[in-house]
Amino acid sequence: MAATAIFLLTKIDLGIPVWLWIFLFFSPDISMLGYAVNTKAGAFTYNLFHHKGVAIAVAAAGFFLNNNLLIAAGLLLFAHSSFDRILGYGLKYPDSFQHTHLGMIGKNK
């Protein structure tokens, strides 16, 4: 899924350099700043930016509105979320960053 989304991103020409695409690919991880508030807020913000359903909704809105920027944003979110799943990072539960829908991560495994 990650590779397919990245391939589709190559078909959208937004006129930005490759280095910026790499930066944008990792930008959803900024959502982890919610953990600076507490684990409940952190889980909410993290899940909002790492949920494949949200990514598909953003890309679909861009498609129906004929807006390449929204399509690219949705594809980036989808690619990033899929890549995170490859690494074992799932959606977070509000009790701990390490508690994900895929199981425990980190030292608490």
Task: Write the pLDDT tens digit of every residue in 12-37.
Answer: 888 888 889 999 999 999 999 999 99
CA distance 94 to 37: 12
Question: What's the pLDDT at 59?
Answer: 96
Question: Quick one: pLDDT band at residue 104, thresholds 50, 70, 90?
Answer: confident
Question: What's the pLDDT at 109?
Answer: 60
Task: Write the pLDDT tens digit of every residue in 49-87.
Answer: 999 999 999 999 999 999 999 999 999 999 999 999 999
How far CA 61 is from CA of 6, 45, 69, 108, in Å, comes to 19, 21, 10, 39
CA distance 55 to 57: 5
**65 in helix, strand or coil?**
coil
